Structure 1
Amino acid sequence: MLETHEECLVHLESIRWNGTPTCPYCGSIKASMYKNEHRYRCNSCFTSYSVTVGTLFHKTHLDLQKWFQAILLLYKLNPNISARKLAKEIQVNRATASLIIKRVQDIPADQAEMLRAIIQVFE
């Protein structure tokens, strides 16, 4: 099991990019990593990005570890879990749990494989 947010970021990078960071804005693989953070700067379009851009994790302040736990609960252990129960399980408030449930349920088809790969880490 992944213990920290950083470990989850590394795992997500391996799932999404397979070792080669790809700019979500222009598709370039020419990037420089920022020191001390898991962000990249595209050397083609000069934008900054992380592995979460364009995913259900984008623009959330919740640790990926909690997201991964929630995905496991929603897909493997209890697909009909309530927001209140999920909030208690991953130690967030009910509104955050509701947001997680909504985003996971509305996942685009092109990201479904990413969720399966995340679940495999727990098996």
Structure 2
Amino acid sequence: MVDWSRMVEVVNKVLADVNSRFPTATSFFDHLEVTRWPDGATCPYCTSQRSTPLPKEGRHHCNYCNSSYSVTTGTFLSGTRVDLRKWLAAVVIVLSEDYTQSTARNLAATLSINKNTACRMSRLIQIARHTDARFLASMNLIVSEKRFP
């Protein structure tokens, strides 16, 4: 059984670290852009690097295919309204070895989110373990055989 008091301590440490490194959600978003696209933004639709940043929207406009995209386009974070810093904490919790027998209600209580949102987040992270491990790595998580069986 999961010791949620220990898990809450771990999550609080993660959130404190994330909030100190990234005081705003925008700063974490910018960090994801740099880690995902070290050579500059790349369109997920046509792989062109010819784009114009739209800073007010946190998006890029591809000058080749005329589409708009962000760092989360094509990932498990696509279309989310939840703060990306809470997503990072959810990733740490869900990918931990202790999470296997926990519930969405516990995750929701830990992150102060709705249980349905927590259930969806958990499901998407579990799917991303197999389909989007590269993006999980770009969130500065340690990717190892232990975390991604």
Which TM bucket (shorter chain)?
0.7 to 0.9
1:10 aligns with 2:26: no
TM-score (norm 1): 0.86
SS in 2 for 1:79: helix
Partner of 2:65: 45
Deviates more, 1:13-22 or 1:74-83: 74-83
What secondary structure is seen at the aligned counterpart in 2 of 1:9? helix
Correspondence for 1:82 among 103, 121, 142: 103
**What is the rounded CA distance, in whole Å, between the counterparts of 2:136 and 2:69 in structure 1?**
20
Identical positions, percent: 33
Unaligned runs of 5+ in 2: 1-16, 143-149
Length, aligned pairs only: 120
Q: Deviations over 1:33-69 (max 9, x none)?
A: 0132310000001111101100000011111111111
Runs of 4+ displaced beyond 6 Å: none
Q: TM-score, normalised by structure 2?
A: 0.73
CA RMSD after TM alignment: 1.8
Rg comparison, structure with higher value: 2
Distance 2:31 2:98 in 1: 24
Query: What runs of 5+ residues in structure 1 fail to find an aligned partner?
Result: none
Q: Take 1:5 and 1:36, find their aligned partners in 2: how far apart are those partners? A: 14
